[in-house]
């Protein structure tokens, strides 16, 4: 179906409903991402290491299973939704998302029952199934609920919600704390999601047709090709490579910092509120900056800043490590927070801007699976191997800095190359 | 030729500010000693290493500790704020302002603090203090404003096209300029310090500092010129290209520079306003490459792919 026919078929919704839809999306993704950065990334590791007494490489192995299984399920779900036409079906995507929230709530509440490595692995496999379905379903809702011109702002709000709440609400990094905290949020959230997805009535009717309007359905970087079909051309491939690089650099560096207690105890895991509040504020301001710059300058410009910042931050950590590793300077984690917020904004806006309602689920699955989860898996494996091989903290940080610098220089060159003007 | 003229004028303007354009010193490793014979003015930022204020030494300005230690045994005319790291107040320490410490504090019983003492989680006040700096003297503010006004007038007269692009970015893309400028200010400052710390990159760091200050000057001037043009239009004054436009620009720049100086005296809000104006100006300079190209947002028709 051509865009023109879609445009003429779309109704004109009221002013309030589109805003409500965007707020629903921001709230849902903000909570989901908070769950990911706290419960999944920190809580599951604590569960394996502290409660089950597993070795670091065993826990890393289980987390690798989580990454790969989630990627596989996300890709399969994305392709299925694309082929079955479910990618355009907002109500189906919302119901899948509600189902994922219910499943993840049950799994979260059930974590106290995990008492063996087998149960731990089983839990992770079930979580992979839920998360894998959740990625294309929730990201797929972007084209239904968030106007193209609102996407920078929406992504900034999601990033700010997750990254302000994470350092402020997580002084205690234990699975028990996360389970208690998230159960309070997720149980009412699951009830509300199910109620909305199955009894949303008029709201759903309006929202489910918004993707047919060009201001929702045609991504910012989607251009008509010669045969008239909208496609993002080579930009999707480059975006996949760049986002893989960003996730890899972040994860590869941060994994080693996580294993260096002094860098955590003076920043993300500080006993006092001061440093954590400063990090939360840095995240929020950077998210707002990211939202504005994404909308006006595009993702490549932001990624130049991100790679440059990662190189600078790892240089600063390297200098600190050379001086004995006091880890006292708060500026370094603050700049780290800025880099993370900037690229998180890109993550939440880019895949929809490279997609149409038909392709969003498969593009989101490709983006999140290939860039985020695969990069995390590979960086975890490499970091563990380097640690086992006796690579020092300084050498590790210098390598991350070098990778980030190469990416920074490459992107800068790309930005300086003569560009082609596109006729509209 | 005009570009060279603008550069020379900007450098002249830099030298005209008798207190320096940015009164800021950073301790990043090692020890900075302030003795009785070497009093210091302005903000002192301790990122790592030690700041040592000897007995009977004078430090006029705010001390901000984000890491490392501030060992103070002299007189500080201003606030001391430590978000992290440690503050040690010796027997002869005398702080005339507030003391806010979220990190470690060791205080001799005879150490004097005239202002409020906040410890631990009273962080909002700490942040309010972070943006407070010792104000410049009025003579310095007016001198800086006059030089910047002259710079603005000459730039408008002799580099009209570049100025128009800069002013357009300030007026039509204020939020984008603010966002980019804020990011560049924060990262640029740290980058200059870190490069200096590597020793081998000290020349690059100095070059970056000069470029950064030139960009700030151009940015402040752009905001002022935009303001001058706006006021002239509101008042119905016709400003033809040439000296009348240059006069409007000079008045606008003078107003903005004086306002920034006045804002230094307003706690918290003043710092935020100054930071905002500086960020918008710097952002406009970056968006247009010092006025060498027109900024077109990526979402506008006819964009590049």
Residue A93 belongs to a domain: yes
Rounded to 10 degrees, what is the CA torsion of A12, A232, A372, A148?
A: -20
Q: Does residue B57 share a domain with residue B12?
A: no
The tokens of A19 are what?
């805003």
State the residue range of the domain holding A161. 3-416
Counting residues of chain A whose pLDDT is more than 90, the rounded percentage is: 55
State the pairing for strand pair B80-82/B94-95: unpaired
B305 belongs to a structural domain: no
Q: What is the pLDDT of residues A180-233, one digit of tens each?
A: 999 999 999 999 999 999 987 888 888 999 999 888 988 888 876 666 565 556
Contacts 24+ apart (CB under 8 A), B45-50: B46/B70, B46/B85, B47/A329, B47/A331, B47/B193, B48/A320, B48/A323, B48/A326, B48/A328, B48/A329
Bridge partners for B63 per DSSP: B44, B80
For residue A18, being part of any structural domain is answered with yes
Could you tell me if B183 and B109 lie in one domain? no
In this structure, what token pair is assigned to residue A148? 């193209």
CA separation, residue A181 to residues A217, A401, A420 (Å): 36, 36, 51
For β-strands B40-41 and B94-95, DSSP reports them as unpaired
Residue at A421 is within a domain = no
Q: CA A301 → CA A414, B169, B181, distances in Å?
A: 10, 17, 14
A390 phi and psi angles, rounded to 5 deg: 85, 20
Q: What angle do CA B273, B278, B283 make, to 5 degrees?
A: 125
User: Is residue A269 within 8 Å of A173, Cβ to Cβ?
Assistant: yes
Residues near A47 by Cβ (< 8 Å), separated by ≥ 6? Answer: A111, A114, A120, A175
Q: Do A330 and B84 touch (CB under 8 A)?
A: yes
pLDDT for res A225: 65
What crossing angle do the helices spanning B2-16 and B202-234 adopt, rounded to 10°? Answer: 100
Task: Give A273's contacts in chain B (Cβ within 8 Å).
Answer: 102, 120-121, 123
On whether both B120 and B235 belong to a single domain, the answer is: no
**Nearest chain B residue to A335, by CA:** B187
Q: Taking CB atoms and an 8 Å limit, are A331 and B29 in contact across chains? A: no
Cα–Cα distance for residue pair A99/A133, rounded to 1 Å: 9
Tell me how many domains chain A contains. Answer: 1
Which of B67, B190, B191 is the closest to A328 by Cβ? B67
Residues B93 and B238 in one domain: no
| A330 touching B (Cβ < 8 Å) | yes
Residue B271: predicted pLDDT: 79
Return the SS3 of A73.
helix
Tokens of B274: 């100054």
Residues of chain A contacting residue B192, judged by C-beta atoms under 8 Å apart: none
pLDDT confidence of residue A419: 57
Q: B3-37 in b/e burial notation, b at 16+ Cβ within 10 A?
A: eeebeebbeebbebbebebbbbbbbbbeebebeee
Which of A95 and A324 is assigned the larger pLDDT?
Answer: A95
CB contact under 8 A, A297 and B66: no
pLDDT of residue B131: 44
Name the domain boundary from B103, B130, B157.
Answer: B130
Instruction: Mark whether B76 and B150 lie in a shared domain.
Output: no
Measured between CA atoms, how close is B297 to chain A, in angstroms? Answer: 5
Neighbours of B116 (CB within 10 A): 13
Helix (H, G, I), strand (E, B) or coil at B40: strand
Is residue A232, in this structure, part of any structural domain at all? yes
Residues of chain A contacting residue B194, judged by C-beta atoms under 8 Å apart: 312, 315-316, 319
Of A286, A296, A331, the CB nearest to B297: A296
Please check whether residue A422 lies inside any domain of the structure: no
CATH value at residue A52: 1.20.1250.20
Do B42 and B171 share a structural domain? no
| Residue of chain B with shortest Cα separation from A421 | B304
Q: What is the pLDDT along chain B (305 residues), one digit of tens a residue?
A: 344 444 444 444 443 343 433 445 667 667 788 888 777 777 777 777 788 898 888 888 788 777 778 899 999 988 887 766 788 999 999 998 888 776 778 888 889 998 888 775 443 344 444 444 456 677 778 887 888 888 888 888 888 888 889 989 999 999 999 999 999 999 998 888 787 766 667 778 778 888 888 888 888 888 888 887 787 778 776 666 667 778 878 888 888 888 888 887 777 787 788 889 889 999 999 999 988 999 988 864 433 33
Residue A230: inside a domain, yes or no? yes
Q: Could you give the CA distance from residue B15 to residue B217 in angstroms, rounded to a whole number? A: 12
Number of domains in chain B: 2
Q: Which one has a higher pLDDT value, A328 or A382?
A: A382
Residue B64 confidence (pLDDT):
78
What is the model's pLDDT at position B181?
95
Subunit contact B84:A266, Cβ cutoff 8 A? yes
| Record: contact A305-B175, CB cut-off 8 A | no
Q: Which of A307, A313, A296 is nearest to B178 (CA)?
A: A296
- Could you give the CA distance from residue A157 to residue B214 in angstroms, rounded to a whole number? 34
Phi (first) and psi of residue B279, to 5 degrees: -65, -40
Residue A368 has pLDDT above 80, yes or no: yes
The residue written with tokens 């997720």 in the block is A186
Q: Is B302 among the domain residues?
A: no
Q: What is the rounded distance in angstroms from the CA atom of residue A353 to the CA atom of residue A323?
A: 45
Q: Does residue B293 lie within any of the structural domains?
A: no
Name the range with the highest mean pLDDT among A287-291, A375-379, B69-73, B168-172.
A287-291
Asked whether the CA dihedral A348, A350, A355, A360 is positive or negative, the reply is negative
Residue B175 shares a structural domain with residue B218:
yes
**How confident is the model at residue A303, as a pLDDT?**
92
**If you ran DSSP here, which 8-state letter would residue B304 be given?**
B
Cα angle: B279, vertex B103, A284; to 5 degrees: 35
- Residues forming beta bridges with residue A124, ordered by sequence position: none
- Token pair for B13: 């303007």
Contacts of residue A399, Cβ cutoff 8 Å, sequence gap at least 6: none
- Indicate yes or no: CB of B179 within 8 angstroms of CB of A293: yes
**Chain A: residue nearest B184 by CA?**
A305
**Cβ within 8 Å of B, A 243-282:** 266, 272-275, 277-278, 281
Q: Most B CBs within 10 Å: which of A274, A322, A337, A421, as the mutation test of the B interface?
A: A274
Phi and psi dihedrals of B88, rounded to 5?
-120, 115
Q: Is A227 exposed, middle or buried (0-12, 13-18, 19+ CB in 10 A)?
A: exposed
Using CB atoms, which residue from B67, B103, B299 is nearest to A296? B299
A424 pLDDT band, cuts 50/70/90, is very low
**Does A285 contact B at CB distance below 8 Å?**
yes
Kindly give the interhelix angle for B202-234 and B138-158, rounded to the nearest 10 degrees.
80
Q: What is the mean pLDDT of residues A40-55?
A: 90
Q: Residues B154, B196: one domain? A: yes
A229-243, A276-290, B181-195, range with greatest mean pLDDT: A276-290
In a domain, A52, yes or no: yes
pLDDT of residue B219: 86
User: Is A424 a member of any domain?
Assistant: no
- CA A292 from centre of chain: 18
Q: Where are the alpha helices (DSSP H) in B235-268?
A: 243-263
| B141 and B253 co-located in one domain | yes
Q: Does B175 touch chain A (CB under 8 A)?
A: yes
With beta carbons less than 8 A apart as the criterion, state whether A216 and A360 touch. Answer: no
Q: Where does a domain end: B99, B130, B161? A: B130
Q: Which of A259, A238, A268, A243 is nearest to A376 (CA)?
A: A243
Angle (deg, nearest 10), helices B160-172 and B138-158: 120
- Closest partner residue to B304 (CB to CB) among A233, A295, A421 is A421
pLDDT tens profile A397-412: 899 989 998 999 888 8
Q: Give the range of the structural domain holding residue B274, as residue numbers without chain letter.
A: 2-17+136-288
Residues B30 and B74 in one domain: yes
Q: How far apart are CA B111 and CA B106, in angstroms?
A: 10
B47/A331 Cβ within 8 A: yes
Q: What is the pLDDT of residue A296?
A: 92
Check residue A91 and give its pLDDT.
94
Provide the mean pLDDT of chain A.
Answer: 87
Q: What angle do CA B267, B270, B271 make, to 5 degrees?
A: 90
CA angle A213, A215, A220 (to 5 degrees): 130
User: In B, which residues are within 8 Å of A331 by CB distance?
Assistant: 47, 66-67, 190
Chain A contact probe: residue of B28, B85, B299, B301 with most A CBs at under 10 A: B299
Considering the domain architecture, whether residues B142 and B254 belong to the same structural domain is answered as yes
- Which one-letter DSSP state was computed for residue A324? T
Classified as helix, coil or strand, B50 is strand
In a mutational test of the A interface, the residue from B82, B84, B125 whose CB has the highest number of chain A CBs within 10 Å is: B84
Question: Rounded to 5 degrees, what angle do the CA atoms A300, A303, A304 make?
Answer: 90
Query: Closest chain B residue to A336 measured between Cα atoms?
Result: B187
> Rounded to whole angstroms, how far apart are CA atoms B125 and B186?
21
User: By the CB < 8 Å criterion, does B122 face chain A?
Assistant: no
A272/B121 touch (CB, cutoff 8 Å), yes or no: yes
What are B218-250's pLDDT values in tens digits? Answer: 888 888 888 877 877 787 766 666 677 788 788
| Minimal CA separation from B197 to chain A, in Å | 9
Q: What's the confidence (pLDDT) of residue A381?
A: 80
**pLDDT per residue as tens digits for the range A152-181:** 999 999 999 999 998 887 678 899 999 999
pLDDT surpasses 50 at A281: yes
Give the count of Cβ contacts less than 8 A between chain A and B.
Answer: 118
In a mutagenesis test of the A interface, which of B100, B186, B195, B286 is the best target, namely the one with the most A β-carbons within 10 Å?
B186
Provide the pLDDT for residue B19. Answer: 42
The residue among B190, B287, B289 with the most chain A CBs within 10 A of its CB, best to mutate, is B190
B298 touches chain A (CB under 8 A): yes
The token duo for A161 is: 């919600």
Q: Is the torsion defined by CA of B84, B85, B91, B92 positive or negative?
A: negative
Q: Are residues B233 and B111 in the same domain?
A: no
Among B130, B156, B187, identify where a domain stops: B130
d(C-alpha B125, C-alpha B116), whole Å: 10
Predicted pLDDT of residue A9:
45
- Decide if A99 touches B, using CB distance below 8 A: no
**CA nearest A270: which of B99, B83, B69?**
B83
Å between B102 CA and nearest CA of chain A:
6
Edge-first strand order for the sheet with B112-113 is B40-41, B58-60, B75-77, B94-95, B112-113
ipTM of the complex: 0.86
**So what's the pLDDT on residue B32?**
81
Smallest Cβ–Cβ distance between A274 and the set B83, B179, B298 belongs to B83
DSSP A39: I
Question: Cα–Cα distance between B115 and B117 in angstroms, integer?
Answer: 7
B304 found inside a domain: no
């Amino acid at each position: 179906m051509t865009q023109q026919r879609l445009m003429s078929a779309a109704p004109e919704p009221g002013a309030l409903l589109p805003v409500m839809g965007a707020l629903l999306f921001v709230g849902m993704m903000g909570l989901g991402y908070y769950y990911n950065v706290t419960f999944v990334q920190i809580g599951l590791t604590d569960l394996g290491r502290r409660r089950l007494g597993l070795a670091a490489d065993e826990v890393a192995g289980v987390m690798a299973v989580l990454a790969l299984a989630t990627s596989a399920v996300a890709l399969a779900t994305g392709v299925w939704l694309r082929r079955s036409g479910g990618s355009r079906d907002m109500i189906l995507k919302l119901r899948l998302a509600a189902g994922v929230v219910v499943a993840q709530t049950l799994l979260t509440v059930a974590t106290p029952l995990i008492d063996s490595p087998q149960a731990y692995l089983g839990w992770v496999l079930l979580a992979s199934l839920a998360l894998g379905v959740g990625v294309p379903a929730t990201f797929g809702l972007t084209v239904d609920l968030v106007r193209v011109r609102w996407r920078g702002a929406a992504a900034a709000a999601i990033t700010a919600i997750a990254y302000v709440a994470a350092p402020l609400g997580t002084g205690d990094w234990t699975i028990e704390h996360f389970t208690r905290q998230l159960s309070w949020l997720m149980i009412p959230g699951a009830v509300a999601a199910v109620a909305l997805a199955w009894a949303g009535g008029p709201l759903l009717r309006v929202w489910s047709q918004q993707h047919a309007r060009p201001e929702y359905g045609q991504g910012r970087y989607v251009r008509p090709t010669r045969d008239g079909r909208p496609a993002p051309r080579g930009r999707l491939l480059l975006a996949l490579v760049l986002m893989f690089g960003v996730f890899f650099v972040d994860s590869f560096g941060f994994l080693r910092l996580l294993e260096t207690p002094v860098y955590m105890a003076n920043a993300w895991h500080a006993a006092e509120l001061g440093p954590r509040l400063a990090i939360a504020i840095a995240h929020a301001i950077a998210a707002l900056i990211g939202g504005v710059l994404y909308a006006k300058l595009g993702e490549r410009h932001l990624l130049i800043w991100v790679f440059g910042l990662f190189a600078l931050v790892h240089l600063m950590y390297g200098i600190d490590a050379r001086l004995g590793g006091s880890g006292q300077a708060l500026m370094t984690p603050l700049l780290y927070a800025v880099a993370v917020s900037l690229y998180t904004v890109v993550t939440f806006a880019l895949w929809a801007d490279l997609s149409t309602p038909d392709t969003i689920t498969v593009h989101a699955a490709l983006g999140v699976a290939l860039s985020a989860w695969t990069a995390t898996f590979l960086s975890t494996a490499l970091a563990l191997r380097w640690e086992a091989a006796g690579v020092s903290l300084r050498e590790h940080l210098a390598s991350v800095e070098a990778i980030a610098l190469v990416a920074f220089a490459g992107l800068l060159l790309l930005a300086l190359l003569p560009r082609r003007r596109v006729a509209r | 030729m005009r570009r060279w003229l603008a550069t020379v004028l900007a450098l002249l303007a830099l030298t005209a500010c008798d207190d320096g354009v940015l009164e800021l010193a950073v301790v990043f490793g090692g020890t900075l000693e302030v003795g009785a014979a070497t009093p210091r003015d302005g903000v002192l930022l301790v990122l790592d290493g030690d700041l040592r204020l000897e007995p009977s030494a004078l430090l006029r300005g705010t001390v901000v500790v984000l890491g490392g230690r501030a060992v103070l045994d002299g007189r500080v005319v201003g606030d001391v704020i430590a978000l992290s790291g440690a503050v040690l107040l010796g027997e002869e320490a005398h702080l005339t302002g507030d003391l806010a410490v979220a990190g470690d504090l060791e205080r001799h019983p005879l150490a004097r603090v005239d202002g409020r003492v906040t410890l631990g989680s009273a962080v909002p006040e700490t942040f309010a203090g972070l943006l407070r700096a010792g104000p410049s003297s009025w003579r310095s503010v007016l001198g800086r404003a006059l030089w910047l006004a002259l710079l603005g007038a000459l730039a408008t007269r002799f580099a009209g096209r570049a100025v128009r692009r800069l002013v357009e970015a300030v007026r039509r893309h204020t939020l984008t300029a603010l966002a980019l400028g804020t990011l560049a200010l924060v990262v640029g400052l740290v980058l200059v310090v870190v490069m200096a710390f590597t020793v081998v990159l000290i020349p690059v760091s100095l070059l970056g500092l000069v470029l950064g200050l030139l960009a700030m000057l151009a940015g402040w001037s752009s905001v002022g010129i935009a303001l001058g043009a706006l006021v002239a239009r509101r008042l119905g004054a016709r400003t033809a290209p040439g000296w009348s436009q240059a006069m409007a620009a000079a008045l606008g720049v003078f107003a903005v520079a004086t306002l920034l100086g006045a804002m230094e005296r307003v706690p918290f809000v003043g710092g935020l306003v100054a930071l905002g104006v500086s960020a918008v100006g710097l952002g406009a300079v970056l968006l247009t490459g010092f006025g060498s190209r027109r900024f077109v947002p990526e979402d506008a028709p006819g964009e590049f792919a």
